[in-house]
C-alpha cells in the first residue's frame, strides 16, 4: 500500500453500520488501523490492521460469490467468453480450499491483504468439518442459483456497451462529503438503468437495505444522468432464488439524504480536526456488550480479558 496515502473522511452505508454498532470498533476500522502496512508501524497498529481484514464464514461466503459473479460479468462486458458452471464451481471450491489452508496457517499475519484470514481461526472458534462443508455448499448453492437463472441468461445476451459498472469503487458528493459505494452491477435496460445487488446472507431481515438502495439510486441518477423513475434497483436473493425489485421515490430519497446528513454530522462531531480527519481513540466509546464483542474482529486488542 502506498505509504503517502492520506486518510480522508468519506461516508458509506457500511461505515454507518459499524458506527451504530460500536464507536470504538468504528475507530479501529477507519482510523486505528491506518499505517499498519508500514514497516515502522507500532505493534498495536499492525495488529489492528491485520485484524481489520479478518472475515467470518458469512462474509467469506459473500465475498467469494461476489468476486466470482463479478469476474463473469466483467468478461461478458468485454466480450470475453465465459466458463461453464461446472468449471466455475470447481475453481471456486479450489480457491476456498486455498483460503482455508492459508487461514489455518495464519499466513495473514505476514501479509493480511495477500492471504485470507478467518475470524474462526484467529479466535480458535470451534467449527466442525460439517460446518466448513456447509460453507462450501452455500457458495455452490448461491452460484448455481445465479448461473442457472433467467437473469444470468439475460446478462449473457446483453450487448457489452449496456454494462455500466461491475463491482467498481464509486463515489459522489453530498454537501461536500464523499459518499462511497460499490455497485454489484449496473446495466442499461431499454430506457432504464438497473442496479443489481446480490444477497448471499441467509437472514431474512435486511437492516439498512432501503438506505443502501437509496444511495445506489442517488448515485445512478447523478452518474448516469437518468430520472428517478428510470432507475430500478433489484436485489437477487441467491439463497432463496427470489428477486426483489425496489422502487425509489423522491420522498424516500429525501429521507435518505436527511439520514446521511445526520450520520455524517455524528461522525464529524468526533473528529479532533475536521480538515485533517484526525481523531483521539478515547473519544470513541466501547459498546461492551458481550454478544457484540465476541463477534468483533478487534476483540484481541480491545477486550483481551474476554474469552
Ligand atoms: S470488542 Fe466490543 S467494545 Fe471493543 S471494538 Fe469490538 S465491539 Fe467495540
Residues 19, 22, 24, 25, Cα dihedral to 10°: -80
Q: Locate cell 460479468: which residue?
A: 73
Could you count the other beta carbons within 10 Å of the beta carbon of residue 56? 16
CB 58 within 8 A of CB 201: yes
Note the pLDDT of residue 1: 56
- pTM listed for this prediction: 0.93
Tens digit of each residue's pLDDT, the chain (307 residues): 555 689 999 999 999 999 999 999 999 999 999 999 999 999 999 999 999 999 999 999 999 999 999 999 999 999 999 999 999 999 999 999 999 999 999 999 999 999 999 999 999 999 999 999 999 999 999 999 999 999 999 999 999 999 999 999 999 999 999 999 999 999 999 999 999 999 998 876 666 788 999 999 999 999 999 999 999 999 999 999 999 998 889 999 999 999 999 999 999 999 999 999 999 999 999 998 999 999 999 999 998 887 6
* Positive or negative: CA dihedral 37, 123, 181, 16: negative
**Test site for ligand 1: of 54, 293, 295, 297, most ligand atoms within 8 A of the Cβ:** 293
pLDDT per position as a tens digit, 30-72 = 999 999 999 999 999 999 999 999 999 999 999 999 999 999 9
Share of the chain above pLDDT 70, in %: 97
Residues near 52 by Cβ (< 8 Å), separated by ≥ 6? 28, 29, 33, 36, 112, 297, 298
SS3 154: helix
**Test site for ligand 1: of 32, 303, 306, most ligand atoms within 8 A of the Cβ:** 303
Q: Locate cell 454507518: which residue?
A: 16
Orientation angle between helical segments 209-224 and 250-268, nearest 10 degrees: 100
DSSP assignment of 206-232 equals -TTHHHHHHHHHHHHHHHHT--GGGEE
Note the pLDDT of residue 259: 96
Note the pLDDT of residue 181: 94
CA distance 175 to 178: 8
Residue 267, H or E segment: helix 250-268
Note the pLDDT of residue 305: 80
* Ligand 1 atom closest to 288 (CA): 3
How far apart are the CA of 66 and the centre of ligand 1, in A? 28
Nearest residue to 22 via CA among 298, 300, 307 = 298
* Ligand 1 atom closest to 292 (CA): 7
Q: Which residues line ligand 1 (CB under 6 A)?
A: 22, 24-25, 28, 286-288, 292-293, 296, 298-299, 302-303
Query: From edge to edge, which strands make up the β-sheet containing 177-182?
Result: 10-11, 177-182, 169-174
Note the pLDDT of residue 288: 84
Note the pLDDT of residue 207: 65
* Ligand 1 atom closest to 27 (CA): 5
* Ligand 1 atom closest to 297 (CA): 6
CA distance 65 to 139: 6
Could you count the other beta carbons within 10 Å of the beta carbon of residue 16? 22
Q: Are strands 231-237 and 169-174 parallel, antiparallel or unpaired?
A: unpaired
* Positive or negative: CA dihedral 108, 53, 181, 143: positive
Closest residue by Cα to atom 4, ligand 1, is: 302
Please report the domains of the chain, with CATH numbers, ordered by start residue: 21-153+286-302 (no CATH), 160-267 (3.90.320.10)
* Ligand 1 atom closest to 22 (CA): 8
CB 46 within 8 A of CB 112: no
CB 267 within 8 A of CB 230: no
How far apart are the CA of 54 and the centre of ligand 1, in A? 15
* Ligand 1 atom closest to 289 (CA): 2
How far apart are the CA of 293 and the centre of ligand 1, in A? 5
Give the rounded distance of the alpha carbon of 188 from its chain centre: 23
CA distance 122 to 118: 6
**Test site for ligand 1: of 299, 301, 306, 307, most ligand atoms within 8 A of the Cβ:** 299
How far apart are the CA of 115 and the centre of ligand 1, in A? 24
CA distance 216 to 195: 7
Amino acid at each position: 500500500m502506498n505509504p503517502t496515502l492520506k486518510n480522508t473522511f468519506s461516508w458509506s452505508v457500511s461505515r454507518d453500520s459499524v458506527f451504530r454498532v460500536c464507536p470504538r470498533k468504528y475507530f479501529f476500522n477507519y482510523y486505528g488501523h491506518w499505517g499498519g502496512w508500514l514497516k515502522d508501524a507500532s505493534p498495536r497498529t499492525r495488529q489492528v490492521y491485520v485484524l481489520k481484514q479478518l472475515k467470518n464464514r458469512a462474509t467469506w461466503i459473500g465475498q467469494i460469490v461476489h468476486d466470482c459473479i463479478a469476474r463473469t460479468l466483467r468478461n461478458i462486458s468485454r466480450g470475453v467468453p465465459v466458463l461453464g458452471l461446472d468449471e466455475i464451481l470447481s475453481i471456486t471450491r479450489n480457491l476456498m480450499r486455498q483460503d482455508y489452508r492459508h487461514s489455518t496457517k495464519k499466513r495473514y499475519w505476514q501479509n493480511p491483504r495477500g492471504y485470507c484470514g478467518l475470524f474462526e481461526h484467529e479466535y480458535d472458534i470451534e467449527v466442525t468439518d460439517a460446518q466448513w462443508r456447509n460453507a462450501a455448499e452455500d457458495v455452490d448453492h448461491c452460484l448455481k442459483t445465479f448461473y442457472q437463472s433467467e437473469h444470468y441468461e439475460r446478462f449473457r445476451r446483453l450487448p457489452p456497451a449496456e454494462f455500466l459498472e461491475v463491482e467498481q469503487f464509486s463515489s459522489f458528493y453530498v454537501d461536500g462529503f464523499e459518499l462511497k459505494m460499490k455497485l454489484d452491477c449496473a446495466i442499461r435496460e431499454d430506457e432504464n438503468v438497473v442496479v443489481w445487488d446480490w444477497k448471499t446472507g441467509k437472514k431474512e431481515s435486511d437492516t439498512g437495505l432501503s438506505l443502501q438502495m437509496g444511495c445506489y439510486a442517488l448515485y445512478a441518477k447523478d452518474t448516469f444522468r437518468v430520472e428517478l423513475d428510470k432507475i430500478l434497483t433489484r436485489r437477487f436473493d441467491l439463497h432463496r432464488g427470489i428477486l426483489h425489485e425496489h422502487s425509489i421515490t423522491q420522498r424516500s430519497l429525501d429521507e435518505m439524504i436527511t439520514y446521511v446528513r445526520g450520520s455524517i454530522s455524528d461522525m464529524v462531531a468526533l473528529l479532533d480536526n475536521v480538515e485533517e480527519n484526525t481523531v483521539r481513540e478515547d473519544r470513541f466509546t466501547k459498546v461492551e456488550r458481550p454478544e457484540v464483542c465476541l463477534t468483533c474482529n478487534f476483540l484481541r486488542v480491545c477486550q483481551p480479558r474476554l474469552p
